Structure 1
Amino acid sequence: MTELKQEHCDACRADAPRVTGEELESLRQEVPQWSVEDRDGVLQLERQFEFPDFAQALAFTNKVGELAETEGHHPKLTTEWGSVVVTWWSHKIKGLHRNDFVMAARTDAL
Structure 2
Amino acid sequence: MSQLSEQQCEACGWDAPHVSDEEIQAYHRDIPEWEIVERDGVKQLERVFKFRNFKQALAFTNRVGEIAEEVGHHPALLTEWGKVTVTWWSHEMKGLHKNDFILAARTDEAATE
Q: Report the TM-score, using the length of structure 2 for normalisation.
A: 0.94
Name the SS of the counterpart of 2:92 in structure 1.
helix
Name the SS of the counterpart of 1:11 in structure 2.
coil
1:44 corresponds to: 44
Which digits, 9 at most, give the CA deviation of each residue in 1:9-46, with x for residues without a partner? Answer: 11111110000111111111110000000101100000
Q: Following superposition, which runs of at least 4 residues in structure 1 exceed 4 angstroms of deviation?
A: none
The aligned length equals 109
Q: Distance in 1 between matches of 2:4 and 2:29?
A: 11
Structure 1's unaligned 5+ residue stretches are none
Q: For residue 87 of structure 1, what is the amino acid of its counterpart? A: T
Q: Distance in 1 between matches of 2:64 and 2:7?
A: 16
2:72 corresponds to: 72
* 1:10 aligns to 2:3 (yes or no): no
Q: Distance in 1 between matches of 2:53 and 2:14?
A: 39
Q: For residue 74 of structure 1, what is the amino acid of its counterpart? A: H
Q: Report the TM-score, using the length of structure 1 for normalisation.
A: 0.96
| Structure 1 residue 8: Cα displacement | 2.3
Name the SS of the counterpart of 1:92 in structure 2.
coil
Which digits, 9 at most, give the CA deviation of each residue in 1:39-74, with x for residues without a partner? Answer: 011000000000000000000000000110001110
Does structure 2 retain, via aligned residues, the 8 Å contact 1:5–1:106? yes
Q: Following superposition of structure 1 onto structure 2, how do residues 65-104 of structure 1 map, counting pairs within 5 Å?
A: 65-104=65-104
Structure 2's unaligned 5+ residue stretches are none
